[in-house]
Structure 1
Amino acid sequence: MTGPRAGDRDRSPETATRRRVLAVAGTAGLTGVLGSNAGAIETRDGDARVAQADAGGDAPVAERPLFDAHTHLIPHETLGREPLSADGLLSWMDEHGIDRAVVHALDSPESYPVQAPSWWVLEQVAAASDRLIPFCSVDPRTVVYGEETVSNLLEGYIERGARGFGELKPGLPIDDRRLETIYERCAEYDLPVLCHLDNKALLDEVGLPGFEDALASYPGVDFIAHAHFWWAHISADVTVADRGRYPDGSVEPGGRVPELLGAYDNVYGDLSAGSGWNALTRDPAYGQTFLETHYERLVWGTDYLAPGQMVPQTTMFERFDLDIEAWTAIRARNLERILRDGQPG
């Protein structure tokens, strides 16, 4: 990518103060959302769950905090799926022992047939801010109105509680110049970015050269990678056709996903959806080793967006055998660390 790098951006007192003020505005009640390591989080039905996010303690895996990195609210029926409200999402979370969830906006036309704009998501989650953590998004093509327009939109969303940028899912090549404006603003406002790479959005080449360039060019941004083309690269034998499908068969060692997770400290893998589940289960022995090796760079998620949706990720803790340290990291600690980054102490 061309243009200014996030790591080289001006860090003048004025810029830092602006970011700090926005961070404070966007994290009112943050202690109540994330809790302390020794505290307890109350679920909607009043059951206390253990909230110790770091390793240690005596709580079994099933009682450790569970933080879903990827959910949605959908305002209207589409694709034969019923809409999903905040109350519906919370009820489903209660059924599956999920304490908190990030709710992603869908602002690009390629993201879903029925969009869920950022302003609407922020309205819907406001009454449950202790459990539903909103992300916001801006379609990069909004830059047609000027980069300041993007800044103004993001500042307004942050002031209303947005904690990250997502889901980034525009129908653009991943090295499109307009995406650089998004990454630059996310670096400025300390927003992690959940990005969707497939055959419709954030188009990249085999080997993910464009995505790696973004990781290297914007080291101040935490990227949470998701979807078909990202997870296809858990294996070394990737083709262009894998942009939009779930590859099967044994994983060939040397894939770009483990390589990038090992090389960059600002990238995480989102285990949600069919793509994340397929990556772990197409070769179960490799999936076990992958989890053991990269647990500090993975976040648990579902991509839940419709009532009755099947979510195999809820069986992950029985299907794979990890120690308590690894499960604690995947279930909540890694995502909590991402959301704490850049926040005032």
Structure 2
Amino acid sequence: MDERDAGADGEESSADDRRTTRRRTLEGTAGIAAVGTFGSAGAVGAADRGRTPQEGDLEEGPLVDVHCHLIPEETLGRDPLSADDLVAWMNDNGIDRAVVLALDSPESYPAPASSPWILDQVGAYPDRLIPFCTIDPRTLVYGEDAAAGLLERYVERGARGFGELKAGVPIDDPRAERIYELCAEYEVPILFHTDEKAMTDEVGLPGLEDVVASFPEVDFLAHAHGWWAHVAADVEAADLGDYPDGEIDEPGRVPKLLERYDNLYGDLSGISGWNALTRDPAFGQAFLEAHSEQLIFGTDYIYPGQEVPQLELFERFDLERSAREAIRYRNLEDVLR
């Protein structure tokens, strides 16, 4: 969650080859079969689910939001957001399904939205809301068995992924790495928020790269300032908590890391994601085209009345059908077990 929202060379195989192999493997699993309803969940079933069918549904397939929240109480001058509120907003804006992220770290939000609470709240909308869970890595102060027991319980209750991981530790902290190991064991993807306060890293993202390379079996969904500032090469420490502007003269670490690691995805939500695409529209167009297989639509919707520019994404950028489908729902199919 963006706090101010309201977001190979030589003989080695290419990233495209690795992604194709990975997709074939995933499509052969039971998990992907369960999630595969995304592809048939467009206009055909929209009215039955209460969502207003949108022009282009049949051509583009469903729209799935990888980054939404439920908030139990008023904070920061913002009203709470219930499951009913979220689904009504989805209906109004042509969103078929949404991932709902837990927030349990003090750095994540003033009003916590715990994993058990999220799992309870989404129960009324099993065909619309997809719950994720989270565990602060500092919970390991109680021992690894405690954290493992929590994750097992959450997965058994229906959690499909892990996030929003937004804790005040370095992204390569040993405690965080134990969480990554647990997610590998339970085969759940991780959506993380990196900035100057949470899941921190240095300019150039060396910690993030080490994590992604060390856990190739885990899909990582990258979000927020610290990640999206690196869409350009000229990054300073202050940019890790800000929204850099101006044209992009040289691509940065984000496109390079996406090319190198097929288990890394970009969550397009929040002000940070939109800023990365629109600060240089020509670059944003080329970036979406080049990396459509590893980018996922998201909004970071967290309070009623929030302005969400991502709803204009497919009008703002002219993408081929295959790229639109990948960003709208296919890539999320790939990462959900």
- Give the TM-score category using the shorter length: 0.7 to 0.9
| Code of the aligned partner of 2:171 | I
Q: Relative to 1, partners in 2 of residues 1:185 and 1:41: Cα closer, same or farther, differing over 3 Å?
A: farther
Separation in structure 1 between the aligned mates of residue 178 and residue 203 of structure 2, nearest angstrom? 24
Q: Report the Cα offset of residue 124 of structure 1.
A: 0.2
| TM-score, normalised by the number of residues in structure 1 | 0.85
Secondary structure of 1:134's counterpart equals strand
Partner of 1:301: 298
**One of 97, 101, 107 as aligned partner of 1:100:** 97
Q: Report the Cα offset of residue 200 of structure 1.
A: 1.2
Q: Which runs of 5+ in 1 are unaligned?
A: 1-22, 51-56, 341-345
Q: Report the Cα offset of residue 38 of structure 1.
A: 4.8
Secondary structure of 2:313's counterpart equals helix
In the alignment, is residue 330 of structure 1 matched against residue 335 of structure 2? no
Task: Judge conservation of contact 2:169–2:198 (CA < 8 Å) in 1.
Answer: yes
Task: Judge conservation of contact 2:296–2:329 (CA < 8 Å) in 1.
Answer: yes
Separation in structure 2 between the aligned mates of residue 194 and residue 257 of structure 1, nearest angstrom? 16
Partner of 2:117: 120
**One of 231, 247, 251 as aligned partner of 2:248:** 251
- Give aligned-pair identity as a percent: 62
Secondary structure of 1:138's counterpart equals coil
Task: Judge conservation of contact 1:49–1:65 (CA < 8 Å) in 2.
Answer: no
Kindly provide the CA deviation profile for residues 29-48 of structure 1, in whole angstroms up to 9, marking residues without a partner as x. Answer: 973x6417456444532767
Q: Report the Cα offset of residue 117 of structure 1.
A: 0.3
Task: Judge conservation of contact 1:272–1:302 (CA < 8 Å) in 2.
Answer: yes
**One of 120, 129, 133 as aligned partner of 2:130:** 133
Kindly provide the CA deviation profile for residues 153-173 of structure 1, in whole angstroms up to 9, marking residues without a partner as x. Answer: 000001110000000000111
Kindly provide the CA deviation profile for residues 148-190 of structure 1, in whole angstroms up to 9, marking residues without a partner as x. Answer: 1111000000111000000000011122110011000000000
Partner of 2:213: 216
Partner of 1:278: 275
Kindly provide the CA deviation profile for residues 41-71 of structure 1, in whole angstroms up to 9, marking residues without a partner as x. Answer: 4453276789xxxxxx99333xx20000000
Q: Relative to 1, partners in 2 of residues 1:315 and 1:38: Cα closer, same or farther, differing over 3 Å?
A: closer
**One of 177, 182, 185 as aligned partner of 1:180:** 177
Partner of 1:54: none
Q: Relative to 1, partners in 2 of residues 1:186 and 1:338: Cα closer, same or farther, differing over 3 Å?
A: same
Partner of 2:49: 44
Partner of 1:83: 80
Task: Judge conservation of contact 2:38–2:62 (CA < 8 Å) in 1.
Answer: no
| Code of the aligned partner of 1:274 | I
Separation in structure 2 between the aligned mates of residue 234 and residue 70 of structure 1, nearest angstrom? 20
| Code of the aligned partner of 1:171 | G
Separation in structure 1 between the aligned mates of residue 312 and residue 53 of structure 2, nearest angstrom? 22
Task: Judge conservation of contact 2:51–2:90 (CA < 8 Å) in 1.
Answer: no
| Code of the aligned partner of 2:50 | D
Separation in structure 2 between the aligned mates of residue 195 and residue 298 of structure 1, nearest angstrom? 14
Secondary structure of 1:126's counterpart equals helix
| TM-score, normalised by the number of residues in structure 2 | 0.87
Partner of 1:8: none
Q: Report the Cα offset of residue 197 of structure 1.
A: 0.5
Kindly provide the CA deviation profile for residues 222-281 of structure 1, in whole angstroms up to 9, marking residues without a partner as x. Answer: 000000010000000000001111000011323000000000010000000000000000
Kindly provide the CA deviation profile for residues 107-164 of structure 1, in whole angstroms up to 9, marking residues without a partner as x. Answer: 1110001110000000000111111000000010010111011110000001110000
Secondary structure of 1:276's counterpart equals helix
Separation in structure 2 between the aligned mates of residue 198 and residue 285 of structure 1, nearest angstrom? 26
Kindly provide the CA deviation profile for residues 308-342 of structure 1, in whole angstroms up to 9, marking residues without a partner as x. Answer: 000000001110000111000000110011113xx
| Code of the aligned partner of 2:208 | F
In the alignment, is residue 204 of structure 1 matched against residue 201 of structure 2? yes
Separation in structure 2 between the aligned mates of residue 145 and residue 101 of structure 1, nearest angstrom? 32
Separation in structure 2 between the aligned mates of residue 206 and residue 312 of structure 1, nearest angstrom? 27
Separation in structure 2 between the aligned mates of residue 80 and residue 119 of structure 1, nearest angstrom? 25
Aligned residues: 306
Task: Judge conservation of contact 2:51–2:96 (CA < 8 Å) in 1.
Answer: no
Kindly provide the CA deviation profile for residues 176-220 of structure 1, in whole angstroms up to 9, marking residues without a partner as x. Answer: 110011000000000100010001101100000000000010001
